[in-house]
């Protein structure tokens, strides 16, 4: 039992350090192992889980350690044993291939694709919205390209930045998907789609004319460390796992703590190797974080406006009652999101509200996608709803009037405001086929009679 306890203490004392390899092509992983006993030797097992995504192809040198795979965790890990003298400290070095980089060619390719889409929107009704979205895309991608070009950035900071850039890259792809929707709505062609958004609602977060955006709120998170002893001083380590949504760009003040990415928990953490504490003392670190646990009002407004537009198209159809139930639920959930994220609650409650609201938002998008499918079944198009933030003074392209342009206008004009049902559509098709069959039979009869007369002669 004593040996087992000592082993656990050794593993808890492991530190993860990175140094740049040649031309930043490799990363040196240093695992520091310490014997906490000042009187006994220890033969202790060592195990370290490698970051997700690291496999045999990315491992260059693991020294005397053995490489194994953990099926439960889905990661490779290093295993071995060390004999340590009292209070001895040893450092094990592992050389890994540097996989924490987004290829520059991929970023440039996305920029070129966004530029092509913007050119296709020129002189169309969606050019202004597309141009605003394209500026946002370019700003995101330019920041990432600049960081990839910064070879002087310490490897630990670059790894932190990589996990932040992955989130930013997904956001850029989502914006490109919106651009693609705008192009398709104007009758353009998109050869290869980057991402298909759930709905055809397009919120444009940047204000028209470069309008001013509201200032971001700030949340204080408290990180505490306590000395449990009432008689002795101690130097204690501090580690605090940040909420999964937080990345370095949202940290305004760490209050002396350092930040690193925790590969096992897949989130960022704040830490400090040692904090000196008097007997029974508690120290508190107030960390200031930008409030990013909010869903933009412009996105909520876009979904509500798009739902209204769809209901106009479905009015008078056999799907209307069912669609009305879904639309009422969508609007109620959007109102609930606005209410809860504006409530005056603690930081942790605010984060919990955000996570619940994201579930409501994703459910609403799926229901709107189903409403769009009902519209397409009627032979009409749901179109794209573009919503600008009201504070920008741009208003919104949100109210779809009866007799909307394109296919819907033709359908409503022919059928006096009510497009045919699927059953009616098939009846029309059968009638046309029957008419064509009668005409074909008539001409065949004439041809056969003439042929018979010629044969008799």
DSSP calls for 118-168:
HHHTTTSTTHHHHHHHHHHHHHHHHHHHHHHH-TTS-HHHHHHHHHHHHHH
Q: Is the pLDDT of residue 28 over 70?
A: yes
Instruction: Look at strands 201-203 and 385-387 and give their pairing.
Output: parallel
In a domain, 204, yes or no: no
Q: Which helix H or strand E contains 226, and what residues bound it?
A: strand 218-226
Last residue of a domain, one of 403, 424, 441: 403
Q: Is the pLDDT of residue 421 over 60?
A: no
CB-based contacts of 217, cutoff 8 Å, min separation 6:
290, 291, 294
In a domain, 444, yes or no: no
Q: What is the rounded CA–CA span in Å between residue 165 and residue 43?
A: 42
Of the listed ranges 72-81, 191-200, 202-211, 337-346, the least confidently predicted one is 202-211
Model pLDDT, residue 422: 59
Q: What is the rounded CA–CA span in Å between residue 175 and residue 188?
A: 17
Q: Are residues 308 and 265 in the same domain?
A: no
Q: Residue 1 — pLDDT band, cuts 50, 70, 90? A: very low
In a domain, 209, yes or no: no
Q: What is the rounded CA–CA span in Å between residue 387 and residue 301?
A: 7
Of 92, 91, 85, 94, nearest to 38 (Cα)?
85
Q: In CATH, what number is assigned to the domain containing residue 62?
A: 2.60.40
In the chain, the number of structural domains is: 4
The angle at the Cα of 302, spanning 301 to 308, to the nearest 5 degrees, equals: 90
Model pLDDT, residue 336: 95
Contact between 306 and 331 under an 8 Å Cβ cutoff? The reply is: no
Q: What is the pLDDT of residues 361-396, one digit of tens each?
A: 999 999 999 999 999 888 888 889 998 886 444 444
What's the whole-number average pLDDT of the chain? 81
Q: What is the rounded CA–CA span in Å between residue 253 and residue 249?
A: 11
In a domain, 181, yes or no: yes
Model pLDDT, residue 452: 79
Contact between 272 and 238 under an 8 Å Cβ cutoff? The reply is: yes
Model pLDDT, residue 390: 64
Q: Are residues 279 and 309 in the same domain?
A: no
In a domain, 304, yes or no: yes
What are the DSSP calls for 361-387, one per residue? HHHHHHHHHHHHHHHHHTT-----EEE
Q: What is the rounded CA–CA span in Å between residue 265 and residue 352?
A: 19
Q: What is the rounded CA–CA span in Å between residue 270 and residue 9?
A: 21
For 145, the domain range is: 100-197
Residue burial 133-144, b: 16+ Cβ < 10 Å; e: rest: bbebbbebbeeb
152-161, 211-220, 419-428: which is most confident: 152-161
Q: What is the rounded CA–CA span in Å between residue 233 and residue 283?
A: 13
Q: Are residues 315 and 399 in the same domain?
A: yes
The DSSP call for residue 210 is G
Please compute the mean of the pLDDT values over residues 341-356 and round it to a whole number: 90
């Amino acid at each position: 039992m004593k040996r087992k306890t000592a082993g656990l203490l050794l593993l808890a004392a492991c530190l993860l350090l990175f140094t740049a390899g040649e031309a930043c092509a490799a990363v040196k992983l240093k695992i520091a192992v310490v014997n906490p006993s000042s009187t006994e030797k220890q033969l202790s097992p060592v195990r370290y889980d490698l970051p997700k995504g690291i496999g045999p192809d990315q491992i260059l040198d693991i020294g005397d350690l053995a490489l194994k795979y953990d099926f439960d965790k889905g990661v490779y890990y290093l295993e071995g044993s060390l004999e340590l003298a009292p209070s001895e400290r040893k450092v094990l070095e592992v050389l890994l291939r540097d996989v924490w980089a987004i290829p520059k060619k991929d970023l440039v390719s996305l920029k070129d694709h966004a530029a092509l889409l913007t050119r296709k929107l020129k002189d169309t009704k969606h050019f202004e919205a597309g141009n605003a979205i394209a500026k946002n895309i370019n700003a995101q991608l330019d920041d990432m390209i600049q960081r990839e070009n910064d070879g002087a950035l310490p490897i630990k900071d670059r790894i932190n930045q990589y996990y932040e850039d992955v989130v930013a890259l997904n956001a850029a792809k989502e914006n490109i998907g919106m651009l693609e929707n705008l192009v398709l709505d104007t009758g353009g062609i998109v050869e290869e789609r980057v991402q298909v958004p759930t709905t055809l609602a397009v919120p444009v977060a940047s204000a028209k004319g470069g309008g001013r955006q509201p200032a971001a709120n700030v949340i204080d998170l408290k990180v505490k460390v306590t000395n449990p002893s009432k008689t002795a001083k101690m130097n204690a380590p501090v580690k605090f796992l940040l909420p999964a949504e937080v990345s370095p760009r949202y940290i305004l003040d760490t209050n002396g703590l350092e930040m690193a990415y925790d590969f096992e928990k897949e989130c960022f953490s704040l830490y400090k190797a040692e904090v000196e504490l008097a007997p029974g003392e508690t120290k508190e670190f107030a960390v200031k974080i930008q409030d990013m646990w909010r869903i933009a009002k412009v996105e909520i407004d876009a979904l509500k406006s798009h739902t209204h537009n769809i209901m106009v198209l479905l009015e008078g159809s056999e799907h209307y009652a069912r669609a009305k139930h879904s639309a009422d639920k969508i609007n109620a959930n959007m109102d609930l999101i606005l209410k809860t994220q504006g409530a005056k609650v603690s930081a942790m409650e605010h984060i919990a509200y955000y996570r619940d609201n994201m579930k409501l938002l994703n459910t609403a998008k799926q229901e709107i996608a189903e409403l769009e499918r009902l519209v397409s079944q009627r032979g009409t198009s749901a179109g794209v709803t573009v919503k600008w933030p009201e504070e920008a003074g741009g208003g919104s392209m949100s109210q779809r009037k009866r007799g909307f342009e394109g296919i819907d206008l033709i359908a409503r004009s022919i059928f006096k405001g009510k497009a045919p049902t699927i059953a009616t559509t098939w009846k029309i098709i059968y009638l046309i086929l029957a008419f064509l069959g009668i005409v074909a039979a008539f001409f065949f009869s004439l041809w056969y009679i003439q042929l018979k007369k010629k044969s008799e002669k």
